[in-house]
Amino acid sequence: MTAFLIIAVLVLVAIAIWQMTKIFELSQIKSDNSEVATDKDNKYNGYLLFAFLIFIYGITIFSFWKYSKMLLPEAASEHGAEYDSLMLWSFVIIFIVQTLTQALLHYFGYKYRGEKGKKALFYADNDRLEFIWTIIPVVVLAGLILWGLYTWTNIMDVNDEDDPLIVELYAQQFNWTARYGGEDNVLGDANVRMIDIDRANVLGLDEADPNATDDIIVKELHLPVGRKVNFKMRSQDVLHSAYMPHFRAQMNCVPGMITEFSYTPIYTTEEMRQNPDVMEKVKRTNAIRAERAAKGEDNSDPWQFDYILLCNKICGKSHYNMQMKIIVETEEEYNKWIAEQQTFGKTMLASAQ
């Protein structure tokens, strides 16, 4: 491996020296005009500009046709529609501006190409033209920025109105743990310095805090549909990012501090599974899996849709596998599930025996 790297470096050095000699040759003043572009050269360059313009439009149309299904799925949170609307209008404006500016750029590049005996007309300044091309982008960008700030303010307004469910998302390499506030819906104090694996205190809860006694620690996130959820996020080791794409939610989990995010789920897991787009994706994915299984490449079970929590910051070698299943269910189903979970106080008593 070392020998290969040495050879590669030597080859790159040789190429660099060769390029430098070519640059030196080009920099020398020559008596002939062999390096001066002719009218024919300029004409061909103009045609190439139009060919490149067609390529840009072609690849853009192809990308919309081929990869539009890779965009985010239907939003499953209350604020998701506003988020998607902002993103859609940003895409539309960018597409229109890109289409017009690229067309003008390539057209003028051809129309005003260099020709023998033709001189370019020089404008020292044009106040009207400069005003137009300055004020239009300013107005459009200002509108998008103000809309974005308004949307961001609404999304990041984490408060205790509407009796929110309080849930902690605890990140560590390379898994997630969820903690519920229990019957009082209040999370007990916690600190990574209090972690005691031998006593099953995996999140570092303060055992002297009465609010921690009824806390519930689980490895699968359950949420009641239609109820606001306030997330408190911590990290044990490095920077992670809690990303829940279906809920248009993402927040960094920073060691040494608590970050927050809030949203209200609007579709249960079962309702999303009945969504035609989701059903089509499941059908398509399982068909691919079946083909691979027939070839002996993949023997995994059929896939079905689930909400998911991902880490969206590269946090180490198993970052790709840092995820947690999210189940959104009715209030009755959620209450039944939460009643079946063991509290932190009972866990500590069991570990002490």
Q: CATH number for the domain including 171?
A: 2.60.40.420
| Percent of the chain topping pLDDT 70 | 93
Give me the residues paired with residue 42 across strands.
Answer: none
pTM greater than 0.85 (yes/no): no
- Range with the largest mean pLDDT of 21-30, 124-133, 344-353: 124-133
**Residue 228 in domain:** yes
Our count of domains for the chain comes to: 1
**Residue 21 in domain:** no
Q: Which long-range contacts (CB under 8 A, 24 or more apart) does 152-159 make?
A: 154/79, 154/82, 155/79, 155/82, 155/83, 155/248, 155/263, 156/261, 157/262, 158/230, 158/260, 158/261, 158/262, 159/262
Q: Which of 103-107, 263-267, 325-329 has the lowest mean pLDDT?
A: 103-107
Nearest to residue 325, comparing CAs of 225, 176, 181? 176
**Residue 276 in domain:** no
**Residue 306 in domain:** no
Q: What average pLDDT does range 106-132 have in this prediction? A: 79
The per-type count for the chain, helices as H runs and strands as E runs, is 8, 10
The Cβ of residue 266 has, within 10 Å, a number of other Cβ atoms equal to: 17
Task: Calculate the CA dihedral of residues 12, 18, 21, 25 and round it to 10 degrees.
Answer: -130
**Residue 289 in domain:** no
**Residue 248 in domain:** yes
pLDDT at 24 over 70: no
pLDDT of residue 235: 92
Q: What average pLDDT does range 238-257 have in this prediction? A: 92
pLDDT at 214 over 90: no
| Percent of the chain topping pLDDT 90 | 27
The confidence band for 27, taking pLDDT boundaries of 50, 70 and 90, is: low
Q: Which amino acid is at 151?
A: T
- Prior bond of 174 cis (ω within 30°): yes
For CA atoms 197, 202, 204, 208, the dihedral sign is negative
**Residue 200 in domain:** yes
**Residue 96 in domain:** no
Domain with 323, as residue range(s), is 165-266+312-352
